[in-house]
Amino acid sequence: MKKKTKIILISIISVPIIVFLYMKISFEIKDYFISKQVIYWSKNVELNINDFQGEIDNLSDYNISWNHSLFLKTTNIRDAKIKAVFFKNKSWIKDTTDFKEDMRLQKLRFDLYESFARKYNKKINLIKYDSNTSYSDLENVGNAIYDELNKMDNEIFNNELTISEKIELWRPKIDKMLIQYR
């Protein structure tokens, strides 16, 4: 009888540990593969031509397409963290003639996404330690953030301003947001 009790006790203890380790390793592997496809925002990050690895859309009127996003990294609600990312495999470049000028605008957009990642993190930090918080709560916060981000993104990019004019108008605003949501 004692042997059975020991086996049951070991099973009760070891199963959750094995499940936890599997989940932890699984998330680390997933993060590794994602990190191969993205560049995470950092203050001094500079993209180069080799970072544009997506399939070129030859039918597009654009010479360059970059894909930024907000990435939710979490194994549980309490360690939820939002990061601004650039997807290498979804971004492409046809013509590198204006690459330096295009990269100034891309940096503006990447900083915009980082400012909203910070805002998202501030908002979820207010709720993620509440035992009643669920992933859908994080998603609801994210939906509101994305709506606001998309609105500002459209204001910046859907107009007739030159790249220099866009940067001159929006750089101070986005820099202010980066400081505000630090």
pLDDT at 21: 44
Taking each helix axis from N to C terminus, what angle separates 99-125 and 163-180, rounded to the nearest 10 degrees?
20
Give the pLDDT of residue 96.
87
Task: Kindly state the DSSP code that residue 50 receives in the 8-state scheme.
Answer: G
Decide: 113 and 69 in contact? Cβ < 8 Å.
yes
Tell me what pLDDT residue 2 has: 58
How confident is the model at residue 23, as a pLDDT?
Answer: 47
Chain mean position to CA 69: 5
134 closest CA partner among 51, 74, 71: 74
Per DSSP, the three-state class of 68 is strand
Q: Which residues contact 94 (CB under 8 A, 6 or more apart)?
A: 56, 58, 60, 62, 63, 64
Tell me how far apart the alpha carbons of residues 141 and 102 are, in angstroms, rounded to a whole number. 31
Decide which of 135 and 147 is more confident. 147
Q: What is the pLDDT of residues 1-60, one digit of tens each?
A: 555 554 444 445 544 555 444 545 445 555 555 667 899 999 999 999 999 999 999 999
| C-alpha atoms less than 13 angstroms from C-alpha of 40 in its C-beta half-sphere | 13
User: Helices 163-180 and 135-157, interaxial angle, to 10°?
Assistant: 150
pTM summary value: 0.81
